[in-house]
Amino acid sequence: MATDLVTPARAAWNQAPAWPHARHDEVHIWRAHVDLPPHRVFRLARVLSPDEARRANQLFFEADRRRFTVARGLLRTILGRYLRVSPAELHFCYGPQGKPALAPEYGEGRLHFSVSHSHRLALYAVAYDRQVGVDVEYMRPHLASREVAERFFAPAEVARLAMFPEALQGEAFFCCWTRKEAYLKARGDGLSLPLDEFYVSLTPGVEHVELHTPRDPAEAARWHIRALDPKPGYAAAVAVEGSGWRLCRWRWAPRGRRRARRREWEP
Ligand SMILES: CC(C)(COP(=O)(O)OP(=O)(O)OC[C@H]1O[C@@H](n2cnc3c(N)ncnc32)[C@H](O)[C@@H]1OP(=O)(O)O)[C@@H](O)C(=O)NCCC(=O)NCCS
């Protein structure tokens, strides 16, 4: 299909609808900047639960506290828009490895989401009735070492990485990392799944990512992974359960003043 050849670099990130609808045949990716002016951070901090505020306060660096607050506050804001619920009122529950989910009172777990933040960017994936995992990494060249690859990647990935020209190896490293992480996050396993039990294709700029699960080929057929290109300098990917869906890429933006006044809780 022609769409298989569309590189993520060409995909546009459009203005999000004010009140999105989750649909079975769409997966929504929201992109947001987490370095916001103090008054916006303050408003987002007000929607966090006491536990979340405590977690933010435990972070050592001020920038990390601020970015966690914004990322979690925006998660609540975005999900609140789908559910028509005030962000501060949302409740989360957590899987055995820490994957957050909406509490069962919000449609018995049919609205799925995943969050990732790195440096100045946060990505949110939202899907209806299917598991999703998203990962974004700011590409810091010093992290993309052979030692790290050998520790975290499958042997097939390490071998493939070594075949890229040197100038592309850093980007291919982060493509590999984010594609693996997106899959792990969709499954919710964290690191409990041995990292060499599956491997992914790592070519930068190719949207459709191959997933191989040699011991259980049916597992690979259950998922689809797409590379995303949220901003220059970042690598990202989303893993989605099942087929028959299309991606919608949206930019998060605060709502206009007049509307915000109508709903005081909207940060
Ligand atoms: C926690 C983990 C899910 C990802 O963490 P990360 O890449 O450091 O951070 P991200 O910003 O991408 O994701 C964090 C978010 O994932 C979510 N999350 C936490 N545990 C999760 C789990 N088990 N499954 C799915 N999502 C999870 C939370 O929403 C969290 O957001 P929060 O920090 O605001 O609460 C996990 O996979 C991990 O520990 N990874 C370590 C990195 C690694 O070794 N990767 C090897 C693969 S190449």
Domains of the chain: 2-262 (3.90.470.20)
pLDDT of 263 reads 47
Which sign does the torsion angle of CA 199, 186, 16, 117 carry? negative
pLDDT of 77 reads 96
pLDDT of 10 reads 63
Please answer whether residues 186 and 223 qualify as being in contact, where contact means their C-beta atoms are separated by less than 8 angstroms: yes
pLDDT of 141 reads 87
Rounded CA separation 261/71 (Å): 22
Q: Which of 29, 185, 191, 200 to mutate to test the pocket of ligand 1 (most atoms within 8 A of CB)?
A: 185
Cβ neighbors of 15 (< 8 A, separation 6 or more) are 250, 251, 253
Reference 207, options 5, 35, 23; nearest CA is 5
User: Closest ligand 1 atom, CA of 195?
Assistant: 47
Please answer whether residues 119 and 100 qualify as being in contact, where contact means their C-beta atoms are separated by less than 8 angstroms: no
Rounded CA separation 32/17 (Å): 14
pLDDT of 4 reads 37
Please answer whether residues 237 and 8 qualify as being in contact, where contact means their C-beta atoms are separated by less than 8 angstroms: no
pLDDT of 189 reads 79
Q: Which two tokens stand for residue 182?
A: 């997106």
Find out whether the beta carbon of 71 lies less than 6 Å from any atom of ligand 1: yes
Distances (CA, A) of 251 to 4, 17, 155, 227: 23, 10, 37, 17
Rounded CA separation 267/229 (Å): 27
Find out whether the beta carbon of 116 lies less than 6 Å from any atom of ligand 1: yes
The one-letter amino acid code at 29 reads: I
Q: Ligand 1 centre and the CA of 118: distance in Å?
A: 11
Rounded CA separation 18/163 (Å): 45
Rounded CA separation 154/17 (Å): 40
Element (H, E) at 122: strand 121-128
Find out whether the beta carbon of 180 lies less than 6 Å from any atom of ligand 1: yes
Model's pTM, two decimal places? 0.91
Q: Please enumerate, as own/partner, the contacts of 217-225 that have beta carbons within 8 Å and a separation of 24 or more.
A: 223/183, 223/186, 225/179, 225/182, 225/183, 225/200
Find out whether the beta carbon of 193 lies less than 6 Å from any atom of ligand 1: no
pLDDT of 257 reads 45
Q: Which two tokens stand for residue 253?
A: 């933006």
Q: Ligand 1 centre and the CA of 185: distance in Å?
A: 7
Please answer whether residues 82 and 22 qualify as being in contact, where contact means their C-beta atoms are separated by less than 8 angstroms: yes
- Which residues make beta-bridge pairs with 200? 211
127 SS3 class: strand
Q: Ligand 1 centre and the CA of 37: distance in Å?
A: 26
Please answer whether residues 183 and 223 qualify as being in contact, where contact means their C-beta atoms are separated by less than 8 angstroms: yes
pLDDT along the chain (267 residues), means of 10: 43 90 96 93 96 95 94 96 94 91 83 95 97 97 91 95 94 97 91 82 96 93 97 97 96 64 45
- Which residues make beta-bridge pairs with 224? 240
